[in-house]
Structures are given as structure tokens and as C-alpha cells.
Amino acid sequence: MTENEFSIKRKQLVQQLIATNAIQSSSIEKAFLAVKREIFFPENLKEFAYVDEAFPIGLNQTISQPSTIAPMLELLSVKENQTILEIGSGCGYVLALLSHIVGVKGKVFGTEILSSLAEQSKTNLELAECKNVEVFCEDGAKFAEGKTFDRILLSCACPFIPKPCFQALKEKAIAVAPVGDYHTQQLLQLTKFQGKAVKKIGEGFYQFVPLR
């Protein structure tokens, strides 16, 4: 498939996500249009990069479907120049979207517990020319300890947002995670306000790979 064909399919996907209200903000629309999802796909699956489904990326992991990623980013409410952490950053696609949203003065960190996937994501992000992103092969909750972030995204299923992640949020900062049991989760938005957690549950049900 040519680069022009990928570009056409990328625009069609974004139009679909807007029509279904998965994308509601211009910053997220621009990020989805700017980031080439095919870069983050295995070679034999690149032709499916703009099908709105999750696809395997090896090691029993998946790249989430765009109609799942977009609502997570909407709940995360990322702004320019912010410092962001994604836990369970996988192949790096969401990191690339976040990189575009925060802009050149923002900073994005990713943690991925599987070393080969972390290394692959670094290669992908280099190809995508994301210069404000760093990826670490590390437990995300431990990485967050002693640091502060404007936004934290957990791209993995968990029963609750780990305490170190909440503690790493700045005042009025936001964390988003798919929270629930092994089979079904809902998106939880947690805002830190005067040191306490203000919670909001997003619409819909999801099934993410579990936090490890």
C-alpha cells in the first residue's frame, strides 16, 4: 500500500471517529491525522492499520482500536506543554499521539514491562519522529514514585488506579485507566483536587490486556 493510500484511509478513519463522537476535540483530531498508525504495525498487518479494530503486536499484546483510544484521550484532556506518563505503552502508538498533542515543549514518558516491546516502540517512535518521548522498560507504578505528572494514562486493565500513580499527580492533574475485572472494564477518570480523588466513569465497556 502506498503512502498516499495510507493517508486517504487515515482521513477516512478520523472522519468515522468524529461521526461516532469518539473524537470530540480538535487537538485529538489533529493528532490522529498526523500520526501514521502503520508505523506501529507488524509488517504483515500494515494494510489493516486503519481498520477500527485491535490487532496483535506480538507477546500476547495488542495495539488498541482507535475508537477505544480516542475516548481515553478525551477523558485525559491533555494540553500543550504538559508532562505525561503512559503505563503499558506497548508499541508506542498512543505515545506518538500524546507527543503530538503536548507539542515540542511538552514531555511524554512511556513505561513498558516487556523489554522487546519497549525496544520496538523506541524504533517506532524514532520512525515517527517523536523527539519529546522517552520509553523505559520498568514497572509503571515504581517509575512514577518520586515524580510528578500533569496526566497519567494506564493503557492496561486494573482493579483500581495504583496509589503511587495518584500520588504522582500534580494538583488538578488527571489519571485515566480502564478499571474493572479481567474480562470487562470501564474508563475511570480520576482528578486530584485538594489532595483527594474526584472520580468520573466514562461511557461504554472495554477489554484491555491486564496490568502486570
Query: In 3-state terms, what secondary structure has residue 8?
Result: helix
What is the distance between the alpha carbons of residues 55 and 61, in angstroms, rounded to a whole number? 8
Which residue in 36, 110, 45 sits closest to 66, CA to CA? 36
Examine the residue annotation and report whether 27 is marked as an active-site residue of this protein. Answer: no
H helices of 77-202, where? 93-102, 115-127, 140-144, 163-167
Angle between helices 26-34 and 3-19 (to 10 degrees): 160
| Main-chain phi, psi angles of 94, to 5 degrees | -65, -35
Identity at 97, one-letter amino acid code: L
Catalytic-role residue among 25, 26, 27, 64: 64
Strands (E), the chain: 55-58, 61-63, 83-87, 107-111, 133-136, 149-154, 169-180, 185-193, 196-201
Catalytic residues: 64
